[in-house]
């Protein structure tokens, strides 16, 4: 295909670099600097898709972010991405794209039958048509809608691209590099302010690229280029193209997505595809311009009907003609500018102006160029199915109600200008209460809520001179307040053509006997008749009308449709537009890829991974790791072909018979110092702490104020005013915050300091009947006998030159010790234990064996201390002091906590002594009882008891105290299991606790 | 994302802080007889205010100090921040 709609001598594209690309399988050519849209139009391709509801043919409507139609599925470097706007996607060598929403092809679309059956698809058709019978929804309606409708297809592959997040702070953030953006950025930057200037498109300059104006004896485009190149050189300025500020959040924080690599065939090595910027700005200048508004007429969705400003942009920026026989349909002077550009490039347009006799410099110029202008004329309907072939036009009466005789004229495109709608999304998102501006029939920002100012066309100012003046002033004034400098820029001389008032006309009446669809929302196929139905059916609030008809709800978020929708409602309701109000603008302004939102926090990067100092040893010794909070912990150390069950059983058994060693570095550790440390512990724990001697540890339980157990652990008195607290791995951070809360806010009079030392200590538990023998070999100079280091005792020892803390505490229920050394010596300690332990048949054990050991001992852990249980429930009531007060004590006297049949921890054994009990199963009296079967309790933890060689579980059971010996059923509907069980004591091994004291 | 002025560190983004609830709640003194009503009011009963609200935040990923923040719950405007030791005025 040749580029038969490309002009020779106009445009900003690079003609030295020809690019090939594929659309729907066919090869085309374009140039570097094209968008996919401009390159397709250059090749005469106007049919790009099908509409959402009626599957009507869709072409191009705009030239940028406002595009409602030209949405494609993009293929780039082996990846695919849905819902890409062809008007935004820059062309690169080898680009491939396909149409979406058409099956089997864009030219022959089965769904288009909806177009002929549209009587069935009026406003609210989702709600009406697909409601009944209910059973039809999943079987018939839903699959049908999914197949026939829907936008692109998301890839199900892992996205191998990289996305980054960046935080930035600035004095002024300026959103848009048109005249107001450039002027304000320049003034502020010259005054020393730290400025970020963001431009959505690849080229800076906004409307200056396409308008015939003169600033300081340069063309608008030249002026823009000179300002940008100066700004780029300034160290206090960040200038970003391909960057859309899409969200305005609290406290002047804005988020911008930068399309770093989307315009390239492939992302460069070490570069991200996109970057999300979180920008905290002292002041925000919104210079986002305005979007041209369509005029509504019959079949106004036919490919070839487009915004007049887009036609001008295709011509001036890309050197592309949207048609060779253009019809311009306008209610204001902007349409003339497009017509003049056509005329200058050898194409003869016809202008239809709804106005009777407009007088302005621009109109005069068009007349002088000999352009055919028909005043008081309108397009009644576009003709042609897949492309405009002609237009039915007619004269319109002065009251705009009556059409004259309908004539048909040939044309291949209809360029529409219905005046301009300021882009107020960001201002509105910031909390600005917008106001309706009568003379432009549109909303503009009102009183600012945050530090934001809207300039230029976005504020409804449509003359260049006024825009520049205000923008220079604002940039200077705001920067002066921040930098306290006063460098002023001299105001350049501005030449622009004067325009005259627009006509408030926006919707062409239907000719008698005709029933043309007149569309308001082009992506969601919402026509004038749909809004009429919604109002007839009683919908009044614009928010309800929006949801019922889906007006403005598509990926373009109604950028071209909202105001015409409001005009229509106001006309039918006979209310002024401001009384109806606009729907809420919410971020994002344009769709943002999920990848950009997620950034680098995916997979292993989604949270930090913490490893103990002994991690490398575990790795070398076949540890199978498991996530434990943010930590990686060995679950078991695999020998040969062992599975988890076999391995953990072997490890647990070895602890019960010989000695094992477990990495307990992950336990939370808090160092507590100060003269009031004992008093703090006494208030935080349920048991008493004032009389704990130096060199002794104690087990403690802490509650929340509502009486629920928060955490447990041992705390050791290292010296007079120095304690070492341990917490569970999971609660370490919360316990520290909890202590800080009470020390800083509730009892500031306590002279205590707390600090986390979790990472400062490497920890190893050595447990088993032979652990003392091993310990005596590790610390030959210390007395570790039962008298020298009794149960719950603490000494410091010398581990072959390394200072170690030795705690005689036990989680496994065996004779056991915990060793702590400074983290850097962790691996030394571990290897010494393994080396010397060999003689005692030592084996490392992972957390699966650790769980087994504690479960059969009836020691509670996170699965019992789950934020729902009180000390009694865990058989810890013996640790609750009756004498002193402590955090949460008062709550324990609540009626439910003192109930006679209060839940309590019990042991559970299957009657067959074989069937493993799934954790989380429920306990019931009668498994055949009608539903809902009353639940008596739940299984909190399960293991295979190595002591008894049969399954054993812990459960929290209603009236557990009186249930010992009862027979119940465990039910696990998820695993489809019913297991008859017997309730026993939770202390299944060594119920008297003799081993730990031996 | 809110921008909070930590009285110890200066302006920091919300993601460095964690929220800690109503700052005006006073814990009953230890060892004091407290009625069920008083205790329930302390533990559970909170007004869900619309408007100005004194609340606690902890500068978790910063100085770890608990601070008092006066914030409008509807608009998120922050009027004042205080150290834990400073009385709400
Ligand atoms: Zn701080």
Pick from B3, B43, B56: CB nearest A891: B43
pLDDT exceeds cutoff 70 at A103: no
Give the rounded distance of the alpha carbon of A527 from its chain centre. 33
Do A23 and A137 fall into the same domain?
A: yes
Is the dihedral angle over the CA atoms A209, A211, A214, A216 positive or is it negative?
negative
User: End-to-end CA distance of chain A, in Å?
Assistant: 92
Mean pLDDT in residue range A810-836: 97
CATH of the domain at A948: 2.40.30.110
Q: Mean pLDDT across the stretch A82-88?
A: 93
Contact (Cβ atoms closer than 8 angstroms) between residue B5 and residue B81: yes
Out of B3, B39, B64, closest to residue A890 by CB: B39
Task: Give yes or no for B3 touching A (CB within 8 A).
Answer: yes
CATH number of A363's domain: 3.50.50.60
Quick one: how many helices (H) and strands (E) in chain B? 1, 6
- Cβ proximity of A683 and A887 under 8 Å: yes
In the predicted structure, residue A1 carries a pLDDT above the cut 70: no
Nearest to A251 among B3, B27, B43 (CB): B3
Least confident of A102-111, A387-396, A989-998, B36-45: A102-111
Contacts of A705 in chain B (CB under 8 A): 27, 42-43
| Domain boundary pick from A719, A739, A757 | A757
Cα–Cα distance, A293 to A309 (Å, whole number): 10
Token pair 């400098």 is at which residue?
Answer: A485
Does the residue A870 lie in any domain?
no
> Does residue A822 contact residue A755 with C-beta atoms inside 8 Å?
no
Of the pLDDT bands very low, low, confident and very high (cuts 50, 70, 90), residue A139 is low
Give the pLDDT band (50/70/90) at residue A141: low
Q: What mean pLDDT is predicted for residues A420-448?
A: 94
The enclosing domain of A154 has a CATH number of 3.10.20.440
Bigger pLDDT: A135 vs A205: A205
Task: Examine the domain organization and report whether A143 and A22 are in the same domain.
Answer: yes
Chain A residues with at least one Cβ partner in B under 8 Å: 167, 249-253, 278, 280, 431, 449, 683, 705-706, 737, 740-741, 744-746, 748, 884-886, 890-891
Cα(A794)–Cα(A716) distance, rounded to whole angstroms? 7
pLDDT of residue A49: 85
Chain A CB contacts of B27 under 8 Å are: 705, 746
Query: What per-residue confidence (pLDDT) applies to A83?
Result: 87
Q: Residue A191's domain spans which residues?
A: 163-290+423-495
Q: How far is ligand 1, taken at its centre, from the CA of residue B10, in Å?
A: 7
What residue in A sits closest to B84 (Cα-Cα)? A745
In a domain, A925, yes or no: yes
Q: Is the pLDDT of residue A25 over 70?
A: yes
- What's the gap in Å between the CA of B47 and the closest CA on chain A? 18
Query: How remote is the CA of residue A250 from the centroid of ligand 1, in Å?
Result: 20
* One domain, residues A398 and A456: no
Contact B62, B16 (CB under 8 A): yes
pLDDT at A114 (0 to 100): 59
Nearest to B30 among A252, A278, A885 (CB): A885
Q: How many CB pairs under 8 A join A and B?
A: 55
Q: Are residues A671 and A732 in the same domain?
A: yes
Residues A15 and A150 in one domain: yes
Instruction: Record the tokens describing residue B47, joined without a space.
Output: 């007004």
The C-alpha atoms of residue A173 and residue A188 are separated, in whole angstroms, by 10
Looking from the CA of A670 toward its CB, the CA atoms found within 13 Å total 26
User: Please, are residues A31 and A39 in contact by the beta-carbon 8 Å criterion?
Assistant: yes
Task: Give the span between the Cα atoms of A778 and A324, in whole angstroms.
Answer: 93
Q: What is the structure's pLDDT at A537?
A: 87
Locus of tokens 């009486």: A707
CATH number assigned to the domain comprising residue A716: 3.30.70.1400
pLDDT of residue A843: 98
Is A263 a residue whose pLDDT tops 70? yes
Instruction: Indicate the residue among A495, A528, A549 that finishes a domain.
Output: A495
**Does some domain include residue A605?**
no
> What confidence tens digit (pLDDT) does each residue in A613-650 have?
999 999 999 999 999 988 999 999 999 999 999 999 99
Q: How far apart are CA A645 and CA A104, in angstroms?
A: 53
Per the DSSP assignment, residues forming a β-bridge with A14 are A32
In a domain, A199, yes or no: yes
Separation of alpha carbons A858 and A785, rounded Å: 27
In A, minimum Cα distance to B1 occurs at: A250
H/E segment holding residue A761: strand A761-767
How are beta strands A937-945 and A950-957 bridged, if at all? antiparallel
- C-alpha separations of A194 from A226, A395, A398, B3, B71 in Å: 19, 55, 54, 19, 29
User: A653 is written with which tokens?
Assistant: 């058994």
Indicate whether A501 belongs to any domain. Answer: no
pLDDT at B83 over 80: yes
User: In angstroms, what is the span from residue B81 Cα to ligand 1's centroid?
Assistant: 11
Whether A388 shows a pLDDT value over 80: the answer reads yes
Radius of gyration, CA atoms only, chain B: 14
Looking at the structure, do residues A463 and A491 belong to the same domain, yes or no?
A: yes
Sign of the dihedral through C-alpha A417, A422, A428, A430:
positive
Domain B3-83 sits in CATH at 3.30.2270.10
Which residues, in sequence order, are bridge partners of residue A761?
A822
Contact A326, A311 (CB under 8 A): yes
| Residues A395, A314 share a domain | yes
H or E element at residue A648:
helix A644-657
Encode pLDDT of A915-960 as tens digits: 999 999 999 999 999 988 999 999 999 999 999 999 999 999 999 9
Q: Which of A418, A434, A450 is the last residue of a domain?
A: A418
Whole-structure pTM value: 0.89
A116 and A235 inside one domain: no
Q: For residue B4, what are the contacts with CB-CB under 8 A and spacing of at least 6?
A: B11, B12, B13, B14, B17, B57, B69, B78, B81
Chain B (18-57) residues lying within 8 Å, Cβ to Cβ, of chain A:
18, 20, 27-28, 30-31, 34, 39, 42-44, 56
A850: in domain: no
Considering chain A, what is the average pLDDT of its residues? 93
| Residue A247 CA, ligand 1 centroid: distance in Å | 28
- Cis geometry, peptide bond prior to residue A32 (ω within 30 degrees of 0): no
Cβ atoms of A686 and A699 within 8 Å: the answer is no
DSSP structure class, residue A977: E
B78 C-alpha to ligand 1 centroid (Å):
16
Supply the pLDDT for residue A110. Answer: 58
Higher pLDDT residue, A307 or A157? A307
Q: Does residue A301 register a pLDDT over 80? A: yes
Distances (CA, A) of A751 to A172, A648, A683, A721: 46, 46, 14, 10
User: Total structural domains in chain A?
Assistant: 7
Q: At what angle do helices A562-573 and A528-536 cross, to 10 degrees?
A: 40
Helices (H), A495-554: 528-536, 542-549
pLDDT tens string A536-552? 888 888 888 888 888 88
Task: State how far the Cα of A897 lies from the Cα of A612, in Å rounded to an integer.
Answer: 40
Rounded Cα gap, residues A740 and A746, in angstroms = 10
Q: Is the same domain home to A32 and A146?
A: yes
What are the DSSP calls for A400-447, one per residue? S--B---EEEE-SEEEEE--EEE--HHHHHTT-EEEEEGGGTEEEEEE
Q: Specify the pLDDT at position A560.
A: 83
Q: What is the pLDDT of residue A145?
A: 55
Cα–Cα distance, A387 to A379 (Å, whole number):
16
CA distance A562 to A247: 19
CA quadruple A982, A985, A989, A995: dihedral, nearest 10: -170
User: How far apart are alpha carbons A170 and A528 in whole angstroms?
Assistant: 45
Q: Cα–Cα distance between A306 and A364 in angstroms, integer?
A: 25
A480's enclosing H/E stretch is helix A464-483
Q: How far are the Cα atoms of A327, A336, A355, A463, A779 from residue A500, in angstroms, in the given order?
A: 21, 12, 11, 11, 97
Q: State the sign of the Cα–Cα–Cα–Cα dihedral A349, A350, A354, A357.
A: positive
Q: CA A403 to CA A186: how far, in whole Å? A: 51
Per-residue pLDDT for A128 more than 70? no
Average pLDDT over residues A781-810: 97
Q: Are residues A830 and A903 in the same domain?
A: no
pLDDT at A282: 98
Do A408 and A434 fall into the same domain?
A: no
A123 pLDDT higher than 80? no
Mean pLDDT to the nearest integer, A854-874 = 96
A519 and A554 part of one domain: yes
In contact, A13 and A31? CB cutoff 8 Å = yes
Chain A positions touching B42 (Cβ under 8 A) are 705
Q: Has residue A150 got a pLDDT over 70?
A: no
pLDDT of residue A113: 57
- Both structure tokens of B71: 């914030």
pLDDT at A112: 61
Contact list, A884 vs chain B (CB under 8 Å)? 31
Q: Which two tokens stand for residue A55?
A: 């599957």
More confident residue, A114 or A65: A65
């Amino acid at each position: 295909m040749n580029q038969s709609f490309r002009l020779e001598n106009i445009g900003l594209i690079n003609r030295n670099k020809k690019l090939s690309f594929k659309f729907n399988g066919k090869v085309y050519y374009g140039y570097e600097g094209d968008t996919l849209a401009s390159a397709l139009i250059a090749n005469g391709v106007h049919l790009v898709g099908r509409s959402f509801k009626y599957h009507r043919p869709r072409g191009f409507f705009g030239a940028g972010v406002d595009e409602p139609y030209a949405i494609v599925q993009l293929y780039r470097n082996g990846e695919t991405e849905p819902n890409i706007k062809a008007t935004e996607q820059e062309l690169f060598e080898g680009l491939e794209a396909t149409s979406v929403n058409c099956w089997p092809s864009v030219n022959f679309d089965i769904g288009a039958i909806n177009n002929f059956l549209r009587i069935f698809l009026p406003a609210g058709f989702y709600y009406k048509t697909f409601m009944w019978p209910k059973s039809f929804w999943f079987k018939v309606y839903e699959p049908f809608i999914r197949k026939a409708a829907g936008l692109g297809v998301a890839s199900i592959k892992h996205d191998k691209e990289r996305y980054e997040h960046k935080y930035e702070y600035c004095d002024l953030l300026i959103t848009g590099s048109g005249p107001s953006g450039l002027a304000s950025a320049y003034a502020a930057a010259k005054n020393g302010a730290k400025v970020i200037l963001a431009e959505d498109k690849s080229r800076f300059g906004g409307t200056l690229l396409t308008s015939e104006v003169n600033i300081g004896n340069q063309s608008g485009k030249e002026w823009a280029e000179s300002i940008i190149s100066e700004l780029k050189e300034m160290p206090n300025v960040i200038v970003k193209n391909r960057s859309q500020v899409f969200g305005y959040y609290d406290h002047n924080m804005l988020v911008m997505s930068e399309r770093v690599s989307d315009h390239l065939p492939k992302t460069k090595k070490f570069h991200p595809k996109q970057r999300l910027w979180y920008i905290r700005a002292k002041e925000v200048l919104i210079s986002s311009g305005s979007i041209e508004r369509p005029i509504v007429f019959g079949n106004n969705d036919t490919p070839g009907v487009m915004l007049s400003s887009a036609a001008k942009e295709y011509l001036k920026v890309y050197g592309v003609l949207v048609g060779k026989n253009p019809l311009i349909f306008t209610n204001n002077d902007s349409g003339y500018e497009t017509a003049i550009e056509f005329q200058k490039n050898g194409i003869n347009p016809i202008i239809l102006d709804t106005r009777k006799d407009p007088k302005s410099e621009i109109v005069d110029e068009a007349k002088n160029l000999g352009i055919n202008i028909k005043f008081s004329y309108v397009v009644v309907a576009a003709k042609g199915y897949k492309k405009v072939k002609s237009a039915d036009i007619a004269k319109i009466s002065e009251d705009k109600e009556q059409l004259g005789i309908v004539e048909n004229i040939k044309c291949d495109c209809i360029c529409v200008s219905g005046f301009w709608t300021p882009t107020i999304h960001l201002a509105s998102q910031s909390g600005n209460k917008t106001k309706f501006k009568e003379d432009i029939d549109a909303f503009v920002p009102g009183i600012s809520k945050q530090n934001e100012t809207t300039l230029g066309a976005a504020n409804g100012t449509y003359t260049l001179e006024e825009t520049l003046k205000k923008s220079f002033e604002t940039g200077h004034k705001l920067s002066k307040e921040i930098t306290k400098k006063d460098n002023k820029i001299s105001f350049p001389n501005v030449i622009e053509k004067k325009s005259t008032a627009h006509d408030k006309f926006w919707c062409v009446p239907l000719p008698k006997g005709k029933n043309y669809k007149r569309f308001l929302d082009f992506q969601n196929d919402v026509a004038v008749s749909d809004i009429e139905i919604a109002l007839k059916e009683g919908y009044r609030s614009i928010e309800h009308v929006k949801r019922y008809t889906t007006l403005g709800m598509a990926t373009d978020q109604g950028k071209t449709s909202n105001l015409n929708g409001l005009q229509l409602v106001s006309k039918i309701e006979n209310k002024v537009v401001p009384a109806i109000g606009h729907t809420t603008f919410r971020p994002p302004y344009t769709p943002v890829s999920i990848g950009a939102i997620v950034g680098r926090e995916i997979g292993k990067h989604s949270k930090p991974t913490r490893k103990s100092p002994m991690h490398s040893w575990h790795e070398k010794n076949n540890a199978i790791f498991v996530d434990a909070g943010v930590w990686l912990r060995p679950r078991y150390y695999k020998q040969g072909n062992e599975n988890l069950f076999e391995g953990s059983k072997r490890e647990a058994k070895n602890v019960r018979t010989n000695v094992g060693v477990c990495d307990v570095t992950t336990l939370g550790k808090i160092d507590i110092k100060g003269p009031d440390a004992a008093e703090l512990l006494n208030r935080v724990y349920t048991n008493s702490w004032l009389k704990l001697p130096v060199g002794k540890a104690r087990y403690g339980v802490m509650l929340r104020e509502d009486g629920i157990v928060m955490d447990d652990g041992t705390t050791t008195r290292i010296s007079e005013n120095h304690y070492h607290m341990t917490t569970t791995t999971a609660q370490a951070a919360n316990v520290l915050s909890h202590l800080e809360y009470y020390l800083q806010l509730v009892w500031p009079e306590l002279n205590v300091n707390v600090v986390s030392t979790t990472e400062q200590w490497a920890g190893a538990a050595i447990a088993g009947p032979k652990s003392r023998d091993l310990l005596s070999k590790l610390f030959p100079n210390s007395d570790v006998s039962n008298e020298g280091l009794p149960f719950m005792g603490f000494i410091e020892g010398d581990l072959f030159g390394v200072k170690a803390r030795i705690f005689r505490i036990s989680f496994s229920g065996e004779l056991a010790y915990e060793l702590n050394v400074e983290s850097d010596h962790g691996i030394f300690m571990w290897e010494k234990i393994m080396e010397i332990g060999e003689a005692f048949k030592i084996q490392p054990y992972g957390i699966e064996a650790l769980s087994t050991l504690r479960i059969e001992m009836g020691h509670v852990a996170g699965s019992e201390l789950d934020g729902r249980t009180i000390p009694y429930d865990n058989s810890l009531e013996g640790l609750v002091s009756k004498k002193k007060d402590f955090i949460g004590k008062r709550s324990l006297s609540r009626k439910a906590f003192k109930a006679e049949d209060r839940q309590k921890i019990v042991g559970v054994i299957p009657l067959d002594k074989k069937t493993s009990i799934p954790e989380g199963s429920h306990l019931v009296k009668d498994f055949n009882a009608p539903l809902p079967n009353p639940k008596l309790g739940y299984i909190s933890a399960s293991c295979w008891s190595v002591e008894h060689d049969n399954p054993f579980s812990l459960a929290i059971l209603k009236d557990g105290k009186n249930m010992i010996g009862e027979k119940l059923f465990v039910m696990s509907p998820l695993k489809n299991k019913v297991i008859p069980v017997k309730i026993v004591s939770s202390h299944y091994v060594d119920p008297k606790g003799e081993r730990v004291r031996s | 994302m809110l921008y909070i002025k930590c009285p110890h560190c200066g302006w920091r983004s919300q993601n460095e802080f964690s929220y800690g609830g109503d700052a005006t709640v006073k814990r009953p003194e230890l060892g004091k007889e407290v009625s069920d009503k008083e205790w329930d009011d302390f533990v559970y009963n909170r007004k869900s205010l619309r408007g100005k609200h004194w609340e606690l935040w902890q500068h978790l990923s910063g100085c770890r100090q608990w601070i008092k923040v006066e914030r409008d719950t509807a608009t998120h405007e922050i009027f004042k921040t205080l150290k834990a030791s400073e009385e709400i005025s």
